[in-house]
Amino acid sequence: MTWNSIRTKVVATLAGCLLVGVCGVLAVTQYNFKRDSQVLATESVAGAQRLFAILETREISKMSAVSDSLIANSQISDAFRAQDRNRLLQVSTPLYIDLKRQGITNWMFHTREPGMGVFLRLHNPPKFGDSLNRFFDKEVVRTHVLVSGNELAKAGFALRVIRPFPDSQGQIIGYIELGEELGQFIRTMKQQTGNEYGLLLNKKYMDRQFWADSSKVWKRRDNWDDNPAFVVADKTTESENLMRFDNDLDSLPPEGKVLERFQSGNSVYVRGIFPVRDAAGNTVGAMFVVRDISSFYLAMRHAMKVMVIVTLVALILGMLFVQLLLTRLVFQRLERITAIATRVVGGDYGTEIQVSSDDEVGKFEQLFEQFRCVFVDVLAHVPELQQQAHGGDSR
């Protein structure tokens, strides 16, 4: 097989088609994987945001119901109306221990306005008398109805409800507040989805010293300097690499965003993030969502290998079939014509070309047979013409 033969060119073309086909399968598979992983990441972010909202609603409803029962408790009501802090602490402590097991980690009583201040912290009894002056405090004083939502304090993030505490005559004697640390949400979310979560807090709403002090109390690493804009308040994974984010939390769209797909060790992940706002509407934090798509990735790789093998086998079989077809329909017949033409040139005028088909090569065979007949006829009359020519010269 020479390089300038039609057979070589056909084989080279088919090999090129084989390469293009395999590359096309790889490209399409990779594109589908990227698209599907983007869809998975988007679904994870949207699903986590919906689940977070559901948990917020559920826990607000739970704390609202608990506050109803606490207000109805005559011992608590009498102690609070009498402004007897020690008796209030004594009758409330057993209830607080039980509520803490249910996830309600913050319980406060506030004096009424003017000069609204903390009368008692069940979670920190020695600390009282301070005025918080938060959005919650201002809003409950303004409306005298239950106010709920997220609040980022100097060293933590909690979901809170605060409401007026009326006496038996309906007169407001102060306010009661219950709160749950948002960090516990991410563990509930992981149990329900299997994804990893991290709670990021915006530094501009936090106090550096309070964070350092709380880190000592909770015996956690002081990670304030890990990132200039936020701190990781809690996460469901020990890996630090999964919670990387280099942008400003304030720039996050309300629906959140997908970050990227990445590989860590033998696992493949997609990451996303959505903002967490407080009751005043400020973006005080964000929830990180990390989904392990290793099984999907391995399934994609397996499917890609199968598709490549199937495509490769199909194209090779196709090449062999086309090559066989061209050999039988074209190349063998052209070689036969060439052999007969060579014999004719060598003096063998008796070998005829049999027309094997009425296709394009068959028409060429018919035309070449007609040419051979004319050529043989001309050669047959050459001696006669030579004699005639010599006879004419002798005269």
**What is the spatial order of strands in the sheet that 147-152 belongs to?**
118-121, 106-110, 172-181, 157-166, 147-152
| pLDDT at position 94 | 94
Residue 104 within a domain: yes
Q: Is residue 293 part of a domain?
A: no
Residues 81 and 176 in one domain: yes
Claim to verify: residue 12 and residue 80 sit in the same structural domain? no
d(CA 365, CA 326): 16
* CATH number of the domain to which 143 belongs: 3.30.450.20
Q: How many of the other CB atoms lie within 10 Å of CB of 312?
A: 14
CA–CA dist 100, 63 (Å, integer): 12
Shared domain check, 165 and 98: yes
pLDDT of residue 119: 95
- Do 86 and 157 share a structural domain? yes
Domain-ending residue, one of 147, 164, 181 = 181
Q: What is the pLDDT of residue 385?
A: 64
**Per-residue b or e along 383-394, where b marks 16 or more CB atoms closer than 10 Å to that residue's CB:** eeeeeeeeeeee
Domain boundary among 136, 160, 181: 181
In a domain? residue 149: yes
Are 84 and 172 members of one domain? yes
Strand 196-202 versus strand 230-235 pairing type: antiparallel
Considering the domain architecture, whether residues 78 and 175 belong to the same structural domain is answered as yes
Residues 87, 15 share a domain: no
Distance CA 333, CA 62 (A): 89
In angstroms, the CA 56 to CA 66 distance is: 15
Q: Domain span at residue 149?
A: 73-181
12 and 95 within one domain:
no
Tell me, yes or no, whether 11 and 109 share the same domain: no
**Among the three residues 181, 205, 225, which one is the final residue of a domain in this structure?**
181
Counting the structural domains of the chain, the total is 2
Residues 15 and 105 in one domain: no
Q: State the Cα–Cα distance between residues 161 and 174, nearest whole angstrom.
A: 14
pTM over 0.85: no
Q: Please check whether residue 345 lies inside any domain of the structure.
A: yes
* Residue 110 in domain: yes
Q: Would you state the pLDDT for residue 75?
A: 94
One pLDDT digit (tens) per residue for the chain, 395 residues:
556 677 777 778 878 887 888 888 888 878 887 888 888 888 888 988 999 889 999 999 999 999 999 999 999 999 999 999 999 999 999 999 999 998 898 899 999 988 899 999 998 899 898 888 888 889 999 999 999 988 876 656 889 999 999 988 889 999 999 998 887 888 888 988 889 898 888 888 888 888 887 778 677 788 888 888 888 888 888 877 767 787 788 888 989 998 888 787 788 888 889 998 888 888 888 888 988 888 877 887 787 788 778 878 887 888 788 878 878 777 787 788 888 778 777 777 677 777 777 777 788 778 877 887 887 777 777 666 667 766 655 55
Residues 6+ apart with CB under 8 A from 346: none
Predicted confidence at residue 62, as pLDDT, reads 94
Q: Determine, yes or no, domain membership for 29.
A: no
pLDDT of residue 393: 55
Residue 326 lies in a domain: yes
